[in-house]
Amino acid sequence: MLSSQETIDLFSKYVIPNYTRYPVALVRGEGSWVWDAEGKKYLDLFPGWGCNLLGHCPKPVVDAVIDQLKTFIHAPNSWYMENQGIWAKMLSERSFGGKAFFCNSGAEANEAAIKLVRLASVKPKYKIITFEGSFHGRTMGTLTATAQPKYQDGVQPLLPGFVYAPYGDLEAVRNLIDGETAAIMIEPVQGEGGVRVPPEGFLQGLRSLCDAHGLLLVFDEVQTGCGRLGTWFGYQHFGVRPDAMTLAKSISGGLAAGAMLTTAELAPALRPGMHASTFGGNPIAARAGIAAIEMIESQGLLKRAVEVGDRFRAALRTFQKECDIIREVRGIGTMVGVELDIDGTPIVQSCMENGLLINCTHGHILRLLPAMTMSDAEVDQGVEMLIAGIRRQMGK
Ligand SMILES: Cc1ncc(COP(=O)(O)O)c(C=O)c1O
């Protein structure tokens, strides 16, 4: 096996440097633990950037995928595939009873939703309202939906037809609606934007605006979906039903996959030939997706997601009382944000050096997306290591 440095050397020479990477090569994962090429073990509180909600290498998913690999790896969408059908049924039955389009990533799922909005809306309606601080992906369409100039600078012109509202400001949204507005698109809880939970009644208010003006409500559930908030989908936590929702990240237990679900009434707008994804809903992703749903149900993991997240937040709030650099501890289910008064980047670095993996977004918000499979002992260990990291930064 290559050392971390040998792998880094390969990247320096052969891989486009569009990511900022930690100087470590990870080689193995199990549950909430990962190992680097030198054999060092890390507790991973940000497994797979949210893709490994079931932990690394969850056995039911691994077993299903191995079996599928031996049977049929790929079939194009010009054929019917049993597993894709079963997967769509399982997602539909756990959400609003609609239909699914399958793809491979969050950006692709959101592109499908954007196209659905345009195809399902009566002209001249085409505009979509999104929110400051949102994150919807890096394709040109989803990048335009992502109302963050830092990701857009230099690649303009962007896709026409997106307008941005301040997050949580219902009045501003109302003022943006005009005769060309077709939809509102939002993450039920902003993830990359800093684990921002919507103000009370905000999502309900958006639903009412959509109903009053004949707009579609699209929820980007790439991060909040598939059990992360303790309900199958984030919209169920808030009791606000979207017209379409997008999923990816953990949908297939860590394998690359995505989906856009919409109501049976809207689904025909994506008529034959109007959208496609070669690998979308392939037999491997579908088997993994089915296994992920079955694992969550058979192991009672929706309930566990709430317990894990609440345990993190309770312990961190206790620490907050003696730590004046923590402004707020927030989140729902296994989305945990710790907003600091200081730069969080050195804390991430120091935690990593000491065997703990976390994330920091917007410079000062520590972000955890822990696996719903964590034991209480692992949560407690994670909290202890995180607090030690914060203390080191405070010089205490
Ligand atoms: C809410 C949300 N939407 C979309 C995306 C984009 O997903 P992907 O990187 O799979 O394209 C992300 C990625 O972090 C996300 O958090």
Q: What is the pLDDT of residues 122-181, one digit of tens each?
A: 999 999 999 999 999 999 999 999 999 999 999 999 999 999 999 999 999 999 999 999
Q: Measured between alpha carbons, how far is 327 from 276 in angstroms, rounded to an integer?
A: 45
Q: Measured between alpha carbons, how far is 74 from 83 in angstroms, rounded to an integer?
A: 12
Q: Measured between alpha carbons, how far is 335 from 12 in angstroms, rounded to an integer?
A: 33
Characterise 30 by phi-psi region: left (phi > 0), alpha (psi -120 to 50), beta (else). Answer: beta
Closest atom of ligand 1 to CA, residue 190: 1
Positive or negative, the CA dihedral 29, 30, 34, 35 is negative
Query: Which two three-digit tokens encode residue 99?
Result: 């239909």
59 is catalytic: no
Q: Which residue has the tokens 């914060």?
A: 390
The full DSSP string for 210-237 is HHHHT-EEEEE-TTTTTTTTSSSSHHHH
pLDDT at 313: 98
Q: What is the DSSP letter of 354?
A: T
CA of residue 250 to ligand 1 center, whole Å: 11
- pLDDT band at residue 81 using 50, 70 and 90 as cut-offs: very high
Query: Region 345-369: what's the mean pLDDT?
Result: 97
Longest dimension (CA), the chain: 63
Q: Which of 65, 105, 60 is nearest to 297 (CA)?
A: 60
CA of residue 135 to ligand 1 center, whole Å: 7
CA of residue 142 to ligand 1 center, whole Å: 9
Query: Which two three-digit tokens encode residue 88?
Result: 């769509």
220 is catalytic: yes
pLDDT at 232: 98
Q: Which of 359, 311, 357 is nearest to 334 (CA)?
A: 311
In contact, 163 and 127? CB cutoff 8 Å: yes
Closest atom of ligand 1 to CA, residue 104: 10
Q: What is the DSSP letter of 47?
A: G
Could you give the strand order of the β-sheet that contains 359-361, starting from the edge strand earlier in sequence? 326-332, 335-340, 365-368, 359-361
pLDDT per position as a tens digit, 34-75: 999 999 999 999 999 999 999 999 999 999 999 999 999 999
Mean pLDDT of the residues in the chain:
98
Answer whether residue 182 shows pLDDT above 90.
Answer: yes
Query: Region 206-230: what's the mean pLDDT?
Result: 98
Contacts of 217 (CB under 8 A, 6+ apart): 183, 184, 186, 206, 207, 210, 240, 242, 243, 244
In contact, 385 and 355? CB cutoff 8 Å: yes
Answer whether residue 342 shows pLDDT above 90.
Answer: yes
The amino acid that residue 264 corresponds to is A
Given the residues 99, 125, 127, 249, the one annotated as active site: 249
Q: Which of 49, 104, 223 to mutate to test the pocket of ligand 1 (most atoms within 8 A of CB)?
A: 223
Q: What is the CA radius of gyration of the chain?
A: 21
In contact, 286 and 87? CB cutoff 8 Å: yes
Helix (H) and strand (E) counts in the chain: 13, 15
- pLDDT band at residue 395 using 50, 70 and 90 as cut-offs: confident
For the packed helices 376-394 and 301-320, what is the interaxial angle rounded to 10 degrees?
30
249 is catalytic: yes
Closest atom of ligand 1 to CA, residue 107: 11
pTM over 0.85: yes
- pLDDT band at residue 189 using 50, 70 and 90 as cut-offs: very high
Q: Measured between alpha carbons, how far is 52 from 43 in angstroms, rounded to an integer?
A: 13
In contact, 259 and 91? CB cutoff 8 Å: yes
Answer whether residue 396 shows pLDDT above 80.
Answer: no
pLDDT at 394: 87
Q: Which residues pair with 131 in a beta bridge?
A: 165
Answer whether residue 320 shows pLDDT above 90.
Answer: yes
Side-chain-side CA neighbours of residue 377 (13 Å): 0
